[in-house]
Structure formats: structure tokens, C-alpha cells
Structure 1
Amino acid sequence: MLELLVVATFFGYIYYLRNYADLRSKSEKEEAEFSPGVEMYKSGRFDEAYAYFDKKVQNRPKSCIAFLYRGLTQKGRGNVSEAFDDIQTAVSLDDEAYKAHLEFGKLYMDTHDYETALSKFNKAIVKAEETSPQSYQWRGQAYLKLGRETEAQEDFATEKRLIEQSGNRDATSQVKAPFVDKKLIVSMVMIVFTSVLIILGVKDAESVHLPYLVAVFCAIAIGFVEPHKGWLLALMQCVLVLSGYFLFTTQPETSGSRELENFSLYGSVILTFVASFLGGFMKRALNMQ
């Protein structure tokens, strides 16, 4: 039963990391995943980028970003009709992806359909929630084409303000980022549970293997969840394990049992620090790929 709890805890950590700790949208994750093709497109290698995203579309027919960038590469290759089809598909797959609406509007600007372009830019601005200066810049251009000078200037002013705010955030991001955030608090709560598991392993095991296994699995999970703050979680787990063991459990009567539990206890504490470092190293290595 204890082994099952250990495995469930480990995979619970990983599930939390993959689905809740990463606050990016689905399209943002896909764009990061397809970064090689995105770089091809940005560097003007449209044929290579088209081949890359055409394969992604075949393998991931529900991917908004795959269709979006295949459409952009088609536009770069001069295939406007195909670009329209792909970007329209991208919008239909993920209506929340503001970049798809923005690029759709740009296509209508190229065909001088400024009213339709304006509606697409409006959608991009709503979905971006004031995180995209470029959307205001393009809507301002559409307003100018429609002779709506006042509204255009308001959009250009908003664009400038967002750019300035973005620059200020970039300059002070490290200062403003709180050390104790929601993710760390949730992780601390989970550490209480893993500490209990380790204590149970120390008390119930007939050898050192089970508590060591529990400690290693839990500590690797710590490193995965918090690759930069894992030392704090590891320290917290060690304190909870030691205090919980000495304050809330009964010491064995025989010397052999005491030696086994002490060996399991202090070995688990040491492994917590070592394995948490290993888990953080593995997570950082995966992020670099």
C-alpha cells in the first residue's frame, strides 16, 4: 500500500507540473514546441518552414499553431489563397489565439478589405487582453484607411503605452517576481504529505530500501516542480521528517530496530537533498532542449 502511495504521489507531482504549474495557453505551448519551424519562418526560409509545418499539420491536425504558421509560410511564398485557408482553420481550432486573429486581419489588409480587417483586429485585441501592442498598431492602420483618424491615434497611443509598460516589466521582472508564489505554496502543502510517507516508510520497513525509495521519488519530484526553489522544499521536508519522527512516533525497544530506523531516517534526509538536486538538474536539462 505504501509503495502505491509513493508512486501516486510522484506522478501526481508530474501531472501538476504539466497541467497546472505551466500557466501558458495551449497555443503558447505549441509555439514554443514548434520553435525550430518558427525560427525558419522568421528568418525568411519559407520553403523549409512550410515543409516543417506541413508535416506538423499532418501529424497534429488539431493544432492551431501548426496551421497558423503553415499559412504564414504560404503567404511568404506568395500563395495567398492557401494562406487564407490555413489561417482561417487556425482561428477555428483555437478562437483564443489572438495571433491567429491578428494575422487573419493582416491578410484582409493586403486585399484592401479594411472593414473585415478591422473586425479581426478587434477580436485580436479582445483575446490578447492588452498584451499585444502590435494588435493596436494594426487596428490603428485599419482606422486610418477608413478615415477614422481620432480612433487611429488612440490606438497608436495605446500601442506606445503597452510597449513602455512591457519594457518596464522586463527591467524589473526579477525584482517584482515574488519568491513565495501560489505554485510554491501548493508544493509546500504537498511536502507535508510526502514527509508523512517517508516517516511511514521508516517505521514500517523491514530494510532501508523502502524508505530510501520513498525519499528519492519524493525528492526528484521536488526538483521537477521547483528546479530553482527545490532547496527550500527539500529543507522543509527534512525538518518535517525529523520533527515528525521524534515528536509523533514511538522509538523501538530493541537496539537493532532503533539502528535500522535511524539508518533509514538519516539516510532519507541525505537522499532528499541529493535527489532534489538531481530532479532540478533533469528539469533544467529538459527545458534547454
Structure 2
Amino acid sequence: MEVALLLLLVIPYLVIRYFVIDHDTQTDKDRQRFNQGIQLIQKHQFSEALLYFDQAVVQHPKSAVAYAYRGRCNLKHANYYSAIYDLTHALSLDNTIADAYVDKGIAFYKLEMNQDAFREFDKGVWHQRGQSPDAFRWRALARIQLQQLPQAENDLKRAVALGDENAAFLLNQPPFSRKVLF
């Protein structure tokens, strides 16, 4: 009897609690908070965005989103070591930001650290659940540098299947283009 009464009290409590609790993650809240800076990046105003996220990092030092977007701005300004630092810090705060893995891989790739770049692109593909053509294309570029041509070709084909025209162009370039002689 007491168990039934307890269940009658616990079930409504759980239902009410479910509808009252905020379900947004800290990353979602930070994306809303830094929407102004994110819009600057989308408009390709990277200098202004870098200043914005410099201030955001000072005001919110535990925000993975602020560090990730500052890292993206540093990447666009070819400050690769600063980008790697910011993106590494962002991923240490929240390791589920898939774009940060790809951006970090691009920085490593630009520094010709191909093994590290491949590892980051691989993580980016995994975290984006195979739905990002950019991650596949960049991973293929790193694999080309590592002389993993069959796997690179597969990555490029998957990127093309996801709609990446740049990957289609790369597939028509050596070492993937095969000329048939009659």
C-alpha cells in the first residue's frame, strides 16, 4: 500500500520535473550568448569576430564555444599555433564540438603535421556522424599526404555523395584520374 502511494507521488514529481528543467546544454546556451560574434564569422568579418571572441574569452573563460570560434578566427588569419591552442582548450572544455576537430585538423594540415591532421579529421568525421563532406575531404587530403591513396579515394567519394563539389574536382585530379588509352 505504501509503495503504491509512493509511486503515485513520485511519478507526477518526475513528470513535472521533466517539463520544468532546462534541456539546453551549455554549448547551446553559449551559441545563443555569442550569436553576434557567430554572425560576424558567417559574414566573413574575421577581424571583428576575433576582437569579439577575445573579449568573450576574457569574460567567459570556461566557454568552449568562445575558444572554438576564436580558434576559427585565428585559423582564418593564418595564426595556426594560436588556433591550435584555442581549439585544444575548447575541446578540453567540451569534447563534443565537432567543427573544432576539423578546424584543428586544418591548422595541423597547414603546418604540414599530417599525422596529427589526419587524427583530428578522423575525430571530426566520427563526431559529425559521417554527415560532413568537409571532414571527409580534409581527411582525404591528409591521407594523400600520408600516401594512403585508396582510403583517400574512398573519403573523397563519400564527400561527393554528401554533395561536396570540391571533392569531385579532387577526384578528377592525379593520382585519382585514370586516363584510358585506346
Alignment partners' CA distance in 2, 1:42 and 1:76: 12
Q: Which residue of structure 2 lines up, in the alignment, with residue 129 of structure 1?
A: 129
**Are residues 28 and 161 of structure 1, via their aligned partners in 2, closer, same or farther at CA, if it must alter by over 3 Å?**
farther
Aligned-pair distance for 1:86?
0.9
Q: Report the equivalent of 1:113.
A: 113
- Does 2:27 correspond to 1:15? no
Q: 2: distance between equivalents of 1:105 and 1:62?
A: 22
Amino acid in the other structure paired with 1:97: I
Aligned to 2:180: none
Cα separation, 2, equivalents of 1:102 and 1:68: 11
Superimposed CA distance per residue, residues 131-187 of structure 1 (whole angstroms, 9 cap, x where no aligned partner): 3221111101111122222111111122233349xxxxxxxxxxxxxxxxxxxxxxx
- Whether the aligned pair in 2 keeps the contact of 1:130 and 1:162 (CA below 8 Å) is no
> Would you say how many aligned residue pairs link Structure 1 and Structure 2?
151
Q: Deviations over 1:166-220 (max 9, x none)?
A: xxxxxxxxxxxxxxxxxxxxxxxxxxxxxxxxxxxxxxxxxxxxxxxxxxxxxxx
Structure 2: runs of 5+ lacking an equivalent: 1-12, 165-182
Greater fraction of residues in helix: 1
Structure 1 residue 37: Cα displacement: 0.7
Residue 46 in 1 paired to residue 46 in 2? yes
Alignment TM-score, normalising by the size of structure 1 = 0.47
1:82 is aligned to: 82
| Other structure's SS at 1:147 match | coil
Higher-RCO chain (CA-CA 8 Å, sequence separation at least 6)? 1
Structure 1 position 12, deviation (Å): 4.6
AA at the equivalent of 1:154 = N
Q: Counterpart in 2 of 1:70?
A: 70
Paired residue secondary structure (2:162)? helix
> Structure 1: 5+ residue runs without aligned partners?
1-7, 165-289
Q: Is 1:142 aligned with 2:134? A: no
Tell me if 1:55 matches 2:60. Answer: no
Counterpart for residue 5 of structure 2 = none
Contact 2:53–2:70, Cα closer than 8 Å, also in 1? yes
Contact map agreement 1:96 1:127 (CA 8 A) in 2: yes
TM-score, normalising length from structure 2? 0.72
CA distance in 1 between partners of 2:28 and 2:105 (Å): 20
Q: Is the 8 A contact 2:53 2:66 kept in 1?
A: yes
Residue 34 of structure 2 is matched in structure 1 by 34
Deviates more, 1:103-112 or 1:93-102: 93-102
Mapping of residues 226-237 of structure 1, within 5 Å: none
Aligned sequence identity (%): 27
Distance in 2, matches of 1:114 and 1:99, equals 18
Matches within 5 A, 1:209-224: none
Rounded Cα–Cα distance in structure 1 between residues aligned with 2:76 and 2:133: 23
Distance 2:132 2:38 in 1: 18
Instruction: Kindly report which structure 2 residues correspond to 1:180-199, keeping only aligned pairs within 5 A, or say none.
Output: none
3-state secondary structure, aligned to 1:70: helix
Supply the distance in 1 between the matched residues of 2:152 and 2:143 (Cα, whole angstroms).
5
User: Which residue of structure 1 lines up, in the alignment, with residue 7 of structure 2?
Assistant: none
- Cα RMSD over matched residues? 2.5
Residue identity matched to 2:105 = G
